[in-house]
Homo-oligomer: A and B are copies of this chain.
Amino acid sequence: MPHNHDALLEHVKADMPADELLQDLGDLFKIFGDTTRIKIMYALYEDEMCVCAIADLLGMTQSAISHQLKVLKAANLVESRREGKTIYYRLADEHVKSIIAQGYEHLTE
């Protein structure tokens, strides 16, 4: 017979967050899981930047950057302000930096 671990399962299951939260967590990290978006967040690490500056920096299309900024904004990872024709983006909160910093540590330790 296959071995039994009902007791363990019950215990672990009780400590697991709700499925919806786990899904949201996965969705959040999925956003960090793209080099372009990581680069954008790093570009905004110290100061705000306009879309075309980011595009220039990464050597990518304005369209591509705009699409990614939309994704980042939908996840509350960046915020923006308009100044004339230009729109400046900045990181939304400190979690962005600390998540990236933790990943960085895991890689470089």
Contact = CB atoms under 8 A, between A and B. Distances in A.
Interface in A41-100: 42-43, 45-47, 49-50, 52-53, 56-57, 76, 86, 93, 95-96, 98-100
- Classify the secondary structure of A's interface with B: helix
Contacts of A2: 52
A99 B103 CA distance: 7
A11 to B, nearest CB: 9
B49 A8 contact: yes
Interface of A: 2-3, 5, 8-9, 12-13, 15-17, 21-35, 37-39, 42-43, 45-47, 49-50, 52-53, 56-57, 76, 86, 93, 95-96, 98-100, 102-109
